[in-house]
Amino acid sequence: MEVMADIELKDLLAEVRRIEVVSKRRVTDMMAGNYSSAFRGAGVEFHEVREYVPGDDPRTVDWNVTARLGRPYVKKFVDERQLTVVFLLDLSASMRSGFGVWTARQAAARVCASIGLSAAKCDDQVGLIAFSGGVDKYVRPERGTRHILRIIRDALALRGSGRATDISAVLEFAGRVIRRRAVVFLVSDFLSAGWERSLTPFSFKHDLVAVRLKGPELGPLPRAMLRLVDPETDEIRVLDATDPEVRRAHEEAVLGWERRCRNAFQRADVDLLDITVTREPGRDLVTKPILSFFSMRQRRGCRT
């Protein structure tokens, strides 16, 4: 897979190191603990046999042990904690543009770092499927911090094979290669069309979370003449953002997009984690929304 030509290797390694250092500061025991509470394993596993006490579920009686010892014993099970976490990362051209202090791709790398290092701290496996017009790279789930650093590097540096986004294709591919139930973070700006119906079949098998990256261009436009370039088609437009009609049309388009996304996520029973990229440098844009998301999952109860 080709690496982005405009990122020098030394700059790339420095950025990976920067993200690692900052993310490790974020991934305190509190964040890792909240992550662990927010996501459960794929099932339960046998732990021990103990003597029956009033109130135990009769269905858990171990009849072989009971018959051998002459008094009732029950099987005790515990949640199987170990998880597989997979990031589906959008590499399309729109992820490298915007008005923010970071591009959506740079924000996505920081999200993958924070969640990935939390998963590594809990000894979970983490993988990556990068996509644009199709699947561009598959990194099999593995454990360990070194593996997470590889994923951060790829999240920053990989170049998509196409400019457009095909979310349906990556979900179909992920459904084939991820055999066991996993927690899957679909990281995208969701600015493409036609992906909504593909969510439901996939979320039926896996715990799918939509990580939506929102740049300041989705908020109020600056009052100026704007020269805009569509990153996926190279079409250039000049927009008079001082015109009230233009501003109203932009606001209505954003509200319509927001409504379509939320309706699609709700229909498919997919949780949403919004990451808003601002124009303000120096702000930590990922820790607070991630912790809020983990807390929401804890309050509601994990999916089974």
Structural domain including 35 reads 9-39+81-216+272-300
242/245 Cα distance (integer angstroms)? 9
260 within some domain = no
What pLDDT was estimated at residue 2?
Answer: 41
Positions of the chain with pLDDT lower than 70, given as ranges: 1-10, 12, 30, 40-47, 77-81, 281-283, 302-304
Give helix 145-157 / helix 9-26 axis angle, nearest 10°: 130
What pLDDT was estimated at residue 1?
Answer: 41
What pLDDT was estimated at residue 202?
Answer: 97
Check which CATH number belongs to the domain holding 137 and give it.
3.40.50
Give kind and range of the element (H or E) at residue 230: none
56 within some domain = no
What pLDDT was estimated at residue 255?
Answer: 96
248 within some domain = no
Residue 37 makes CB contacts below 8 A (sequence gap 6+) with 294, 297, 298, 302
Residue whose structure tokens are 């009769």: 58
pLDDT tens-digit readout, 136-184: 999 999 999 999 999 999 999 998 888 789 999 999 999 999 999 999 9
184/196 Cα distance (integer angstroms)? 16
pLDDT tens-digit readout, 219-255: 888 888 988 877 777 788 888 889 999 999 999 999 9
18 within some domain = yes
Is the separation of the CB atoms in 231 and 170 below 8 Å?
no
Q: How many domains does the chain have?
A: 1
What pLDDT was estimated at residue 46?
Answer: 58
68 within some domain = no
What DSSP state is assigned to residue 196? G
Tokens for 113, please give them. Answer: 């770092």
What pLDDT was estimated at residue 3?
Answer: 43
71 within some domain = no
185/211 Cα distance (integer angstroms)? 6
253/251 Cα distance (integer angstroms)? 5
266 within some domain = no
What DSSP state is assigned to residue 3? B
Residue whose structure tokens are 């030394």: 10
234 within some domain = no
